[in-house]
Structure 1
Amino acid sequence: MADASRALDIVLASLDDSKAENIISINIQKKSSLGDYMVVASGRSNRHVSAAADHLIKALKDAGLGMPKVEGLNSADWVLIDAGDIIVHVFRPEVREFYNIEKMWQTPDLDEETVH
């Protein structure tokens, strides 16, 4: 958990440094085995999304957290960076609004008793 918390701090600092917008961190530990945290952020343009993603990849590598898996960097509409415990999505604003993935992950957990 300490590693995930440290990685989250690095991710958030890097995105902030890159002037990413509307940065949201979601704790998904009890919702998914994909990771501990999901971070969603926006860039103002394809170029900004690409630059923020590149900056983050370098920050993770420089911090000794290895080379994350990256998808979508060529088009830079939506870049997914899988850093193990942290899953990062960097979107152009209109693409983020269309998919609205943070809404899906921020929903409260259902009680098992109410699921049929």
Structure 2
Amino acid sequence: MEIKEIAKLAVEALEDVKGKDIIELETSELTDLFQYMIVCTGDSNRQVKALANSVSVKLKEAGVDIIGSEGHEFGEWVLVDAGEVIVHVMLPAVRDYYDLEELWGGEKPSFVPTGAKPWKAE
């Protein structure tokens, strides 16, 4: 199975469990460790765990080896490592704090609710 197909399956698995702000970054120019990084937000610890589990199950069913998975204990940030494709599923505050998109060349999603103004220190 091609790497791009694996990334597509992972995104579909996240969409199946209503993951939010799904971003797929091609990282082959930036690192030799993996070719795609997918970042997704879940609304609760339970949903974060369910999103990561959905990715693992869907990829395993397609014959993709899951090298590892971390973060299930607390469900704030769960990583699923499928070799050339890695998936980060995070709570909004954790995703906002670590800002993986900016580190890896993507655009950061806005976590400000519609119609609300961002808080600014005076």
Q: Quickly name the TM-score band, shorter chain normalised.
A: 0.7 to 0.9
Structure 1, residues 71-104: CA drift from partner, whole Å, max 9, x if none? 1111110001110110110000011001001111
The code of the aligned residue for 2:4 comes to S
- Contact kept in structure 2, 1:57 and 1:68, CA below 8 Å: no
The residue type paired with residue 91 of structure 1 is M
Structure 1 segment 68-87 matched on structure 2, within 5 A: 68-87=67-86
Unmatched 5+ residue regions in structure 1? 108-116
Distance across 1 between alignment mates of 2:76 and 2:58: 21
- Aligned mates of 2:92, 2:33 — CA distance in 1: 24
CA contact under 8 A between 1:14 and 1:56: conserved in structure 2? yes
The answer as to whether partners of 1:71 and 1:80 remain within 8 angstroms in 2 is: yes
Identity in percent: 36
Alignment of 1:28-43 (within 5 A): 28-43=27-42
Alignment match, 1:96: 95
5 Å-filtered alignment, 1:1-116, equals 3-106=2-105
Q: TM-score, normalised by structure 2?
A: 0.83
Given that residues 66 and 81 in structure 2 are in contact (C-alpha distance below 8 angstroms), is that contact kept between their aligned partners in structure 1? no
Q: Provide the TM-score with structure 1 as the length reference.
A: 0.87
2:78 touches 2:88 (CA, 8 Å); kept in 1?
A: yes
